[in-house]
Amino acid sequence: MKIKILLIIVFVFSSTILPQVGFSAGTLLGASSFSSNSPSVGGFATGFFIETDTPLFEEVFPRLGITFMKDINAVLPNNRKAYYPSMLGLNFKGITSQYFDSKIFLEEGIGLLALNDKTFIDKNSWEFGLALSFLAGYDMRNFNLRGLKTGAAVEYGLTFTGSLPSYLNFYLQFHYTF
């Protein structure tokens, strides 16, 4: 527990430890399909991430994110099902971008994934693997590189342990640089 708290403090206060050019945060919302040792479950996905660029990486930005996926029936009215399958993903990805002009860009990311699998009522296990994402976006920032970027993305998460849970998310992403 102490190590987790120390890592969070170091990441939050990394501007004093490592010089940074920028810090950004974002959110995502979309559709999801996830499965474990089960048929695929259709649902929704929502998430949050923080990103910074450090002098350790020239073209690759480290991004720490959390994604929550749940069965779509959980938000539909008049549904009295007792349990709704869900998954919670924590990922640490390296993100790179290619600009086609000053506003249109393509973003790719790959990294480590820890996935909390709750597809069945009696299941609550952490599995580990990789997350891969692609985004086509529009950059609304000014020349000072502060402001909003948005886009449509797809993310695939695959684990290599336990019951091999995986997910495929299609979402809209909003990314603000401070």
Distance CA 140, CA 102 (A): 9
Taking only the tens place, the pLDDT of each residue in 75-131 is 888 777 778 999 999 999 999 999 998 899 999 999 999 999 998 888 889 999 999
Q: What's the length of the chain? A: 178
SS3 83: coil
Q: How far is Cα 103 from Cα 107, in angstroms, rounded to an integer?
A: 13
User: Which residue, among 86, 68, 78, has the nearest Cα to 171 in the 3D structure?
Assistant: 68
pLDDT tens digits for range 40-59: 999 999 999 999 877 567 78
